[in-house]
């Protein structure tokens, strides 16, 4: 009986040490920003995409541009080739919040529309949603209109409370391309988020919508890329977006 008791107590101690070690490891990851599996994730991304990029004359580190369309529930990744961007891949958006129209305030569970910029500092490899990057909402235009919100992301895990949620496999590729572009010298990746494909016919269907004038302004940025093959340099004049040529 005594031997059994000592064995039982020893087992409890070992279990406690294991649990404590796991908690310490978890704490180190959260505090120090470490992710033990990140090298494996990066290797998987490169291994699965290298041939597809090469087939299109592209490579990791080439400049990247992203477009999002709510109605179609897709995210496009464009990669620079020559003096223009070419479409590399279209990814299904697993989930987004709200309806067609801009995000207005913190807590409205609405995914944003507009023109955003993602610097290297916005990347989060330690996201609770697999991988993520911050869109930078509110931007200058949003602030001019009194819009509020924070931590609006593109991330994995298929769960959205205001963000654009991708599958984990999708965000791995998107994140990998954006991260590689940053490391190769692209200061910030432009992300343009639209309610729908901004063709003249589709926009005409919304003439009675309260956001028609706003979407007409967004269409100018959409048309600029369609014409020039590069995203515009986006500014704000008063309460409107402005667009000018900046090249790659």
Annotation says 158 is catalytic: no
- Out of 94, 99, 130, 155, the active site residue is 155
Give the whole-angstrom CA distance, residue 100 versus residue 68: 12
User: 163: exposed, middle or buried (C-beta count within 10 Å: 0-12, 13-18, 19+)?
Assistant: buried
Q: Where would I find the H helices in the chain?
A: 2-32, 38-55, 140-144, 168-183, 200-204, 212-228
DSSP code of residue 116: E
Which member of 94, 130, 163, 182 is catalytic?
Answer: 163
Could you tell me the two tokens for 83? 């003096």
Closest to 237 measured CA to CA, from 211, 217, 222, 223? 217
- The radius of gyration of the chain's CA atoms, rounded to the nearest angstrom, is 22
Spell out a b/e string for 230-239, using b for 16 or more CB atoms within 10 Å of the CB, else e.
Answer: bbbebebeee
Q: Any catalytic annotation for residue 163? A: yes
Specify whether the backbone of 110 is left (phi greater than 0), alpha (psi in -120 to 50) or beta: beta
- Name residues whose C-beta falls within 8 Å of residue 172's C-beta, 6 or more positions apart in sequence: 41, 44, 45, 130, 131, 156
Active-site amino acid positions = 155, 163
């Amino acid at each position: 009986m005594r031997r059994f008791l000592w064995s039982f107590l020893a087992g409890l101690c070992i279990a406690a040490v294991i649990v404590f070690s796991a908690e310490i490891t978890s704490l180190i990851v959260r505090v120090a920003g470490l992710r033990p599996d990140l090298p494996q994730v990066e290797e998987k991304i490169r291994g699965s995409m290298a041939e597809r990029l090469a087939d299109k004359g592209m490579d990791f580190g080439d400049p990247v541009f992203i477009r999002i369309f709510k109605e179609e529930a897709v995210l496009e990744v464009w990669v620079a080739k020559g003096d223009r961007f070419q479409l590399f891949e279209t990814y299904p958006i697993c989930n987004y919040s709200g309806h067609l129209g801009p995000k207005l305030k913190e807590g409205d569970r609405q995914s944003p529309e507009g023109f955003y910029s993602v610097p290297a500092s916005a990347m989060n490899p330690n996201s609770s949603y697999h991988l993520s990057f911050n869109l930078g909402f509110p931007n200058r235009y949003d602030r001019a209109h009194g819009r509020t919100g924070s931590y609006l992301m593109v991330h994995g895990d298929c769960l959205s409370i205001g963000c654009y949620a991708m599958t984990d496999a999708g965000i791995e590729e998107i994140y990998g391309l954006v991260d590689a572009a940053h490391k190769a010298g692209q200061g910030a990746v432009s992300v343009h988020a639209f309610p729908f494909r901004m063709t003249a016919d589709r926009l005409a269907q919304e003439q009675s919508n309260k956001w028609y004038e706003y979407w007409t302004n967004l269409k100018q940025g959409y048309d600029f890329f369609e014409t020039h093959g590069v995203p515009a340099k986006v500014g704000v004049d008063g309460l409107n977006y402005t667009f000018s040529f900046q090249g790659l």
